[in-house]
Structure 1
Amino acid sequence: MTSTDRNYFERVEICMGTTFRFAGRSELGEVEVQNILSQACEILHEADRTFSLYKSDSPLSRLARGETRLADCPPVVAEIWDACDEWEKRTDGWFSAMTPQNTFDPSGVVKTWAAKRAAEYILQAGINDFTMNAGGDVWLSDELTSDQEWRIAISKPISIASSDHAILTVIDLKNTDYRALATSGSAERGDHIWNPKAAGKSAPTDLVQVSVVAKDLVTADVWATAAFAAGTRGIPLLAAVDGIEALFILANGDLAATENFQKLFAKN
């Protein structure tokens, strides 16, 4: 079956205070596709019910208030706790799920972790030609049929509410091993990333945005968060990591990038 025999689909889901978008093509029937997407979106909502610190009855909120123990939470909470510990080691301490108030807050990984699980569910259900946008972090499947869909835009670090919101550049991931792009910065959510190596302090202000390309979405997201928390020290930090490329926007307007990032720029 050729790509022209496939039906286009799109699903937009509001969850975790942001927007998730799935779009692609499938030879499956419309009802079956929407049922698959609904189940994938339920994975997102279940993660939100478990990990949201904005929902007072979530296991994580109860844990933060000292009303329960980690051992009494759903097993997935301990799984994410261990994953955050491992990422903290891999990032030399620049990614941490412990807030300045010593509260466990894995939001730096949960969104893309849940998004990755949702995408894997869709793939396992037989849909392999689609893209996923998880609140601005983008993942591409291996079998996209349109050359244009391999291209991802990186926005300037300006709030989406601004009339000046514009694209900084476009990268092309076709014929590469990369499938994901994640961006961290202060333009949309302000100073929401803390400096884990300076108790009680926000991330340095010498960096305003970091975009990381990787093979999977969680890897891209964690390294973008770690680099932003490190400020300009994140530039040599990411330069030493295999399997990723990154673009940095400094507070003075200058740009910096890892050695091979320029090879990803769309040619036309």
Structure 2
Amino acid sequence: MGTVFSFDVRGSVTPAVTRALGDAVAWLHHVDSVFSTYRSDSQISRLGRGETTLPMCDPEVAQVLELCEHAAQVSGGWFTTAIGGRLDPSAMVKGWAVERASQLLYDAGAHHHTVNGGGDIQCRGEAAPGRPWQIGIVHPLHRDDLATVVVGRDMAVATSGTAERGCHIVDPGTGGPATALASITLVGRHLTEVDALATAAFAMGDAARAWLRSVEGVEAFAVTADDSAWWTPGFTIHRAGPQP
């Protein structure tokens, strides 16, 4: 998927967990082969060009496109799969794939772990007995600094912004890049949801601040293009240290 994935498993690593790690890696490679927009022979590329039909694709393709449609409805159209005139569900795929990889580990007995896909992270359990996970969020405008540190148990953390790939998120209203925010980090329970909604929120810009108050179970921290910050009221329970 053009990024780095990592696994952090706490506690004893049993043979079942070792097998699950192998299965999770295989799953991520499978997802890449099906959904990569950089591969001309992937199912999503062929579907976008009209060379195949949805019933001829793996069932996961229909599932992901249904999730994309739901995200588009929830966000009032700010989440979109029509990028530059081509089918591109990438903003949904990574979080969905990471969450499923995490479930493979959990089902094998690894109840305390993280799966990190390019900085979007599904956390299960806790880092150590009585100690929550702590996820540092790189400041998009000052790359040697952290913008904030997110703490919690059984949570998902997703960041959309310009730090890694520049201005790559499209404002569906204008067709140009979204530029009002430098980054926005969402915290919730499921990475499938928060990763997609983070993309929509970044496209919205400052309007996301009011919208996210209506999204149940999701909190946000944003850095604006002029280097100020805002956050939803419930984010304070996830933030380590003093308020910015």
When normalised by structure 2's length, the TM-score is 0.92
CA–CA distance in 2 between the matches of 1:158 and 1:147? 34
**Secondary structure of 2:240 counterpart:** coil
Match of 1:82 in 2: 66
TM-align CA RMSD: 1.9
Contact 2:150/2:240, CA 8 A, preserved across alignment: yes
Match of 2:112 in 1: 129
- Tell me which amino acid in the other structure corresponds to 1:266: A
**Secondary structure of 2:4 counterpart:** strand
Count of aligned pairs:
242
The one of 123, 137, 142 equivalent to 1:154 is 137
| Gap regions ≥5 residues in structure 1 | 1-15
Contact 2:95/2:196, CA 8 A, preserved across alignment: no
Cα drift, residue 259 of structure 1: 1.3
The one of 134, 137, 146 equivalent to 1:167 is 146
Same amino acid, percent of matched pairs: 38
Pair 1:181-2:157 in alignment: yes
CA–CA distance in 1 between the matches of 2:130 and 2:161? 29
Cα drift, residue 36 of structure 1: 1.9
Contact 1:70/1:77, CA 8 A, preserved across alignment: yes
What are the within-5 Å matches in structure 2 for residues 52-131 of structure 1? 52-101=36-85, 103-131=86-114
CA deviation map 1:33-67 (0-9, x unaligned): 33220111111111100000111111111122221
Contact 1:223/1:238, CA 8 A, preserved across alignment: no
Match of 1:141 in 2: 124
Cα drift, residue 218 of structure 1: 1.4
Contact 1:140/1:180, CA 8 A, preserved across alignment: yes
Contact 1:22/1:131, CA 8 A, preserved across alignment: yes
Match of 1:218 in 2: 192
Highest RCO, 1 vs 2 (Cα 8 Å, sep ≥ 6): 2
Cα drift, residue 261 of structure 1: 1.3
Contact 2:132/2:152, CA 8 A, preserved across alignment: no
CA deviation map 1:54-101 (0-9, x unaligned): 111111111222211222222221111111111100111111112131
| Greater radius of gyration (CA) | 1
Contact 1:158/1:188, CA 8 A, preserved across alignment: no
CA–CA distance in 2 between the matches of 1:131 and 1:238? 25
**Secondary structure of 2:171 counterpart:** coil
Q: Which moved more, 1:184-193 or 1:31-40?
A: 31-40
What are the within-5 Å matches in structure 2 for residues 38-57 of structure 1? 38-57=22-41
Contact 1:80/1:106, CA 8 A, preserved across alignment: yes
CA deviation map 1:120-155 (0-9, x unaligned): 111111211212211101221125425555111111
CA–CA distance in 2 between the matches of 1:225 and 1:71? 28
Q: Which moved more, 1:56-65 or 1:206-215?
A: 56-65
When normalised by structure 1's length, the TM-score is 0.84
CA deviation map 1:144-185 (0-9, x unaligned): 4255551111110048xxxx52212212214xxx60110000
CA–CA distance in 1 between the matches of 2:136 and 2:76? 29
CA–CA distance in 2 between the matches of 1:48 and 1:260? 35
**Secondary structure of 1:108 counterpart:** helix
